[in-house]
Copies of this chain bind each other. A is one copy, B any other.
Amino acid sequence: MIAKTPIPPYYAVIFTSERTDSNEGYQQTANRMVELAQQQPGYLGQESAHEVVGITISYWDSLEAIKNWKKNTEHLTAQTMGRQEWYSTYKTRICKVERDYDFHK
Contact = CB atoms under 8 A, between A and B. Distances in A.
Interface of A: 1-3, 5, 8, 12, 14, 16-18, 20, 47-55, 57, 83, 87-105
A78 B20 CA distance: 36
B99 A96 contact: no
A16 B47 contact: yes
B2 A91 contact: yes
A90 B46 CA distance: 15
Contacts of A17: 2
A5 to B, nearest CB: 8
B103 A93 contact: no
Given A87-B103, A102-B89, A53 B95 contact: no
